Structure 1
């Protein structure tokens, strides 16, 4: 610790809690079965900060449950964030008790976020102390000044003004302007449609704040950019306000209250005993000898080709080595390799270096262990090198072992498994390579011991290379369609806005729940449906209920739908089109979902809506090149077919064996009508019942889905299980077996631990029951399509090489193929998808062909 000022460490409690929850597996529980992973990780972090930095003052700020003033300003603020995991909720009170037992103030305030409390402390005491903020939230960097730094405790690094500006491209004081222009997807701050971070940085560097940019808007050289700024002025100003931290929260904490003190062992020891933290208890009562300083190991840097040739021979002789990319903000800077943990090597990026390594890279008898095989496949293919012989990919292996953990990065695994938190792994060449080598041995043993080596080697690892090629291929986008659609939506929004004002009889901020509430319930006299802490609710459910009472609620719903489509998809996709090939190259995420399903980002092509005309036009913009078509192959009702196989229910199996419409069959039984008299509406309701019940939806949830009474929903559920008795038995049996084993598995051997089933908290236990049933079904479907993708990719590559897989959207594959190959490709894909596994019922794949994504949907 340096500097003459006393230090105040302010911990962003919510940020540290989520990091701990996702870094440590849910298998850590106390004796009653409650998950304690977040509590344990948070406590370890708190201990480390206190021990390493010895602050004079310390406090922890938390977000309070409920809306903040930002939701009043913009109803969609943070709307895209998933709710707090059920397994985390019961841990929060314990974490606050831990903080209090350490003698540290717990600071929170209704209507405000932890960020605002921290900003208030910085303003209140900034002239007296050096403030060090522990957070993973980029918003906090706007507080950085000569007496305020962001503390990366894991890397033992402080981020002051210079580091913050290097990180974001603008001074800390202008970070809120950057977020105001570019938006922030994590908080659902819209920003200016069509302006990304790079453009925003350039504008700020040239003109300054948002206010200064608009004051000099005619000096902006690009006409297109000026149009975007003009059209979104109000949105830019609102977005900046959402991103601005408010330093005037009224709460009584004084600097004296924050004085660092020793833990209250009378409170802390019983608490640690209740949580079952034996190691922390022992550390609390025992003074351990200081560990010997780790010897410095510096990576050898290869500076010429002759040295590289010698290193290549050493790697070849070793037969196995760790291999990873070293990157910075500009991309890859080189490779780190390690065959011997005493001698890591750094090879600067370059074509000559890669070509020298080509022989061992393409030799599948020489094993390469890494932390991100997909990134390596993409990187080397850019040099015309086909990487072979990948052994352990630490991220994939960790994901197979613990699919419920959301952080399988090298830094997280190093902290969790190797207890290495003293280094920033991604900035330390030798540590990154060495830790891959150390983790490889540990993860290999765990895969073998748990019987998971098969699904790792035969499914997940080969899928990584398939996804690399799909990312490289990208999918062509006709930008003119989206540009025109964006203009139409902008016009539609203006028309809607005028209609809303006319119907309401006044102008107001449509995005402000507070102002909307005043219009609906005071000016128009509508009866409120429900109330929140900040006033009467104006959420989607409320507006739907009010839509038959007045035209304004319906107009607001339409306005919100169009606005979201425009900002989230149309403008975002336009920004991501690669000008070099006219394609969007999405990133496929292989280690995110707990069931094995893939997700995608930048952009998310798996959640593009399909219901509205505008949404269909978005898909229409995804086009096949001239002379080519898209072939779409979609599993038909695959999850219900898996249920039929797993339950061996005679009625459900019969429907599939006879190739009947299973939803019509269910409607006939549940609603008591002949199959020929089942209407489209009855079929829709039966479909909701089929999928809702097998995933644990209760009567209340089903009543909401169908728009019926809870009593009616109960009768539907009873009727369903009366007809499909073996399905009910399967659900009950699966839950009980998962309770006994502690995990559930898919047909392919994928395993998922579900400690929530043993939780004393009823809501958590119910959530565990749903996961226990969901995972074998959805997980098997995810495994099936991966098992089909691997041979499809291989067979397409062995053909002309002109047909290639572009997208996987849940149960569907999109292949781009020359027109003359379309028929044979369709047959190939159908053959592999239907043959991915043998079920007790037929597997059916629907094939479509077309010039764009819309026509094959």
Structure 2
């Protein structure tokens, strides 16, 4: 006899969710229900080998039962978000494990199972139903039995009789009498299992019982008679429908083959390491001792070694005019083309094109070499000629392009006078939106999402002294590497974009924030900023003189000369010779001399204070006054920073080469460096900075009436807070009280504790706690927001910005207390910092669109934290100053008004 194995997926999904602990993936996603259901399926497959099998889930939307009874399942709570988040990956894993999945609109999973069981009975097959739902006992017959892997219970005909006291054919009548509280189907009031069994044993069927209802005495008899009009409808609700029109017959449900590649990718995403080991056939020794990170690295290594047998690929090297014409025809017809450039260097402003790769479908790609120079290199098409042919397509906005960090490729084409257009997708940004807390390089993404070990850059060009430039790489090797880059990017897009689209708000973040910001960042990087190298040279000399002076003072304070850049010598002077108290130690057990320690010691001792001054000035000199003049581009005469869009988990941008976001502005020397960022002749620097943006976002998120009122009335928020906390009229608040309030305002949005506040204000911890209590008493909405946010973070593993960006907190449910507390603090601040990041990106796009629409010569040149910096011709200054506030303040509508501080001057510092 053939066997059909059916799984009630919906039943087990809920039971696994509530039975399993709060398991989380490495990046904070809930996985408990996934693990529980998969474990059950694995056990089932081992215990009940079957010829046909399927896992059946409820479909979304109403069923025919909702039309029969409006209150059907009305008492059920909405699906917990942590459970809903597991459904899509669970379905993917079940399918990849070699199961058929069925969801049929308009009916429940029970009805699909009932229909398939009926088909099996008629077809002479045995049917095993794995479920925890008692309603399905009505399906049991000589060929159908139920199994419950969670309780190890098996119910055949004898088992049903033993458990319920009735044969399976009486279960519908039994459940109709007792009702189903889970589905909100009423039975006869006060009738429980014993009464129902007694009545059905006496009268045989529900219909016969109803016909003799007048014979039942007492209150329960009255209840039965009052329910006579309801019971037929109740029975219809209870009865499993066994004639559903299905797209398949039971004997077509042969198990599909297991997709090991997909399983590896999903197991790694969920953090199911033991199952990964099974797939890789390399279980570790029981005595192996490894850290989580080492274990993860080992898993990734095994993953790479045991990755699937690669699908056959066809990578072509374009060396002839005919080949180029053929590929040009292909990419002109393609809906989306993956493109990747190979260059002579990594510097975006100076690198030259060595070759271009294209992919229009998975496993098919081509590499167009244009400037490979090595002994024996074959003839290649002229770079100028090939680019001339490709230029119309490259510059066509109608032809959509895909890439991984296309901002870089856009610069490379610009270096060859080509303005790349039609940039529709970017897998770097897709990965960032989905998993901001993980790595986004192509090799890691391929391994994580495709189970593919890609060729690394180091494998192609070598390392260290033996590293060669890409234009010296053999064409066969270059083709495999470059074509694979384009191919894998296309495959990643196909894997990532459905996940983003499924999460509507993430799709909006990707489409409406990240992609437009990418284009503006490219423009800002291309614009660059004008530097006064002469001024920086003068400042560098001054800093050098001050450093010598500080050195002399430090020698005097130490009583001897020493190397102010040597932690070891500093340690010996401070703790061995001077006997200063040790505040903390390094992992090796020696006294620490880090900045935090020096700041604490500087409160009481002169030498640590001098060391801090020395370090600060030395960093300014080496990082900015010495280095910036060396970074001026010879062609443009400007400095061109690179903005990294996919680094900070909060959505903030990062600036590098040079880093323009870390110039210290609390010291006179730091502020003077900004004086060297100048406007060209007949232009001005304009700075527009969101005012108290994170506090305003806190007011919006918390909905606290006190904060909302203060911002709506344009009050000084720190003055208003001081007045509330100290119960003082606004006009009587002292400068000291306002300073305390400012520290409290900013401290609490970063999750500062009473201990931290006490340290900041140099007061007793009890006093600090009293200030915090007073603050929350005056602003109860803030306290509610913080508590609510912590709970959401623990349930979901992430928090969200106002716009839906997900900010993952992998440690929020971790076992390490300090890390968990840090994650809780981050959970409070991340939505504010992330929303501020979203706002500045929206503002950048709005301002740039306006500049282009008005055809202005004004340039966006920098973005620093919550500030936009523009270079504005004097004849456009009035127009820019008039429109900039509106452009930035109306990119989003919050519960409080947004404000910007606007300034202009001949240099960046003067604009503040």
- 1:499-510, aligned counterparts within 5 Å? 499-510=553-564
CA distance in 2, matches of 1:515, 1:32: 56
CA distance in 2, matches of 1:320, 1:33: 34
CA distance in 2, matches of 1:390, 1:719: 52
**Offset of residue 721 of structure 1:** 0.5
C-alpha change, 1:581 and 1:649, in structure 2 (3 Å) is same
- 1:561-580, aligned counterparts within 5 Å? 561-580=616-635
Matched residue, 2:538:
484
**Offset of residue 847 of structure 1:** 1.0
CA distance in 1, matches of 2:811, 2:598: 35
Q: Counterpart of 1:377 in 2: which secondary structure? A: helix
- 1:166-177, aligned counterparts within 5 Å? none
**Offset of residue 289 of structure 1:** 10
**Offset of residue 840 of structure 1:** 1.3
C-alpha change, 1:314 and 1:543, in structure 2 (3 Å) is closer
Q: Count how many residue pairs are aligned between Structure 1 and Structure 2.
A: 599
Rg larger for: 2
CA deviation profile, 1:306-363 (whole Å, cap 9, x unmatched): 5434422221112321111123447331211111345412223534323322222233
Q: Counterpart of 1:759 in 2: which secondary structure? A: coil
| 1:388 maps to 2:443 | no
Q: In terms of mean alpha carbon deviation, does 544-553 or 355-364 score higher?
A: 544-553
Matched residue, 2:449:
417
1:301 to 312, 315, 318: 318
C-alpha change, 1:845 and 1:549, in structure 2 (3 Å) is closer
**Offset of residue 714 of structure 1:** 1.0
**Offset of residue 391 of structure 1:** 2.5
Q: Is contact 2:395–2:421 with CA below 8 Å preserved after alignment?
A: yes
CA distance in 1, matches of 2:396, 2:709: 50
Matched residue, 2:287:
267
CA distance in 2, matches of 1:544, 1:272: 34
Q: Is contact 2:807–2:831 with CA below 8 Å preserved after alignment?
A: no
**Offset of residue 276 of structure 1:** 12
Q: Is contact 2:365–2:487 with CA below 8 Å preserved after alignment?
A: yes
CA distance in 2, matches of 1:595, 1:564: 27
CA distance in 1, matches of 2:633, 2:713: 48
CA distance in 2, matches of 1:582, 1:749: 40
Q: Counterpart of 1:369 in 2: which secondary structure? A: strand
**Offset of residue 411 of structure 1:** 1.7
CA distance in 1, matches of 2:391, 2:430: 26
CA distance in 2, matches of 1:30, 1:748: 25
Q: Counterpart of 2:886 in 1: which secondary structure? A: helix
Q: Counterpart of 2:664 in 1: which secondary structure? A: coil
CA distance in 2, matches of 1:326, 1:355: 18
Q: Counterpart of 1:816 in 2: which secondary structure? A: strand
Matched residue, 1:239:
none
C-alpha change, 1:318 and 1:25, in structure 2 (3 Å) is farther
- 1:446-457, aligned counterparts within 5 Å? 446-451=499-504, 452-457=506-511
1:774 to 806, 812, 829: 829
CA deviation profile, 1:93-146 (whole Å, cap 9, x unmatched): xxxxxxxxxxxxxxxxxxxxxxxxxxxxxxxxxxxxxxxxxxxxxxxxxxxxxx
C-alpha change, 1:688 and 1:32, in structure 2 (3 Å) is farther
1:434 to 475, 484, 487: 487
RMSD: 3.2
- 1:71-110, aligned counterparts within 5 Å? none
Matched residue, 2:514:
460
Matched residue, 2:366:
345
CA distance in 2, matches of 1:342, 1:492: 61
- 1:27-426, aligned counterparts within 5 Å? 27=28, 265-267=285-287, 295=312, 297-304=314-321, 307-329=323-345, 331=351, 332-349=353-370, 350-405=383-438, 407-424=439-456
Q: Counterpart of 2:564 in 1: which secondary structure? A: coil
Q: Is contact 1:404–1:594 with CA below 8 Å preserved after alignment?
A: yes
CA deviation profile, 1:600-657 (whole Å, cap 9, x unmatched): 1011101111111111110000001011001111111111111111111111011101
CA distance in 1, matches of 2:306, 2:291: 22
Matched residue, 1:553:
608
Q: Is contact 1:668–1:675 with CA below 8 Å preserved after alignment?
A: yes
C-alpha change, 1:802 and 1:542, in structure 2 (3 Å) is same
C-alpha change, 1:307 and 1:536, in structure 2 (3 Å) is closer
Q: Is contact 2:340–2:482 with CA below 8 Å preserved after alignment?
A: no
C-alpha change, 1:699 and 1:290, in structure 2 (3 Å) is closer
Q: Counterpart of 2:562 in 1: which secondary structure? A: coil
Q: In terms of mean alpha carbon deviation, does 567-576 or 634-643 score higher?
A: 567-576
CA distance in 1, matches of 2:900, 2:306: 64
CA distance in 1, matches of 2:557, 2:34: 55
CA distance in 2, matches of 1:443, 1:263: 30
C-alpha change, 1:848 and 1:839, in structure 2 (3 Å) is same
Matched residue, 1:53:
none
C-alpha change, 1:663 and 1:302, in structure 2 (3 Å) is farther
C-alpha change, 1:701 and 1:411, in structure 2 (3 Å) is same
Matched residue, 2:691:
636
CA distance in 1, matches of 2:306, 2:608: 67
Q: Is contact 1:30–1:276 with CA below 8 Å preserved after alignment?
A: no
Q: Name the structure, 1 or 2, with higher relative contact order (CA <8 Å, separation 6+).
A: 1
Matched residue, 2:11:
none
Q: Counterpart of 1:840 in 2: which secondary structure? A: coil
Matched residue, 1:26:
27
Matched residue, 2:661:
606
CA distance in 2, matches of 1:531, 1:682: 36
Q: Counterpart of 1:838 in 2: which secondary structure? A: coil
C-alpha change, 1:580 and 1:720, in structure 2 (3 Å) is same
Q: Is contact 1:623–1:852 with CA below 8 Å preserved after alignment?
A: yes
CA deviation profile, 1:150-172 (whole Å, cap 9, x unmatched): xxxxxxxxxxxxxxxxxxxxxxx
Q: Counterpart of 1:365 in 2: which secondary structure? A: coil
| 1:754 maps to 2:755 | no
1:739 to 765, 776, 794: 794
CA distance in 2, matches of 1:363, 1:586: 27
Uncovered stretches (5+) of structure 2, i.e. residues with no partner: 1-24, 36-281, 371-382, 461-480
C-alpha change, 1:441 and 1:667, in structure 2 (3 Å) is same
TM value normalised by structure 2: 0.61
CA deviation profile, 1:812-854 (whole Å, cap 9, x unmatched): 1001110110111122221111111011111111111111011
CA distance in 2, matches of 1:562, 1:289: 52
**Offset of residue 708 of structure 1:** 2.0
CA deviation profile, 1:341-400 (whole Å, cap 9, x unmatched): 454122235343233222222333322111112113222333443333223201000000
**Offset of residue 537 of structure 1:** 4.0
Q: Counterpart of 1:856 in 2: which secondary structure? A: coil
TM value normalised by structure 1: 0.65
Matched residue, 1:582:
637
CA distance in 1, matches of 2:830, 2:449: 26
Q: Is contact 2:706–2:778 with CA below 8 Å preserved after alignment?
A: yes
CA deviation profile, 1:395-428 (whole Å, cap 9, x unmatched): 00000011111x2121221121122225226850
C-alpha change, 1:308 and 1:689, in structure 2 (3 Å) is same
Q: Is contact 2:30–2:796 with CA below 8 Å preserved after alignment?
A: no
Q: Counterpart of 1:346 in 2: which secondary structure? A: strand
**Offset of residue 778 of structure 1:** 1.2
- 1:529-540, aligned counterparts within 5 Å? 529=583, 534-540=589-595
Matched residue, 2:873:
818
Q: Is contact 2:628–2:658 with CA below 8 Å preserved after alignment?
A: yes
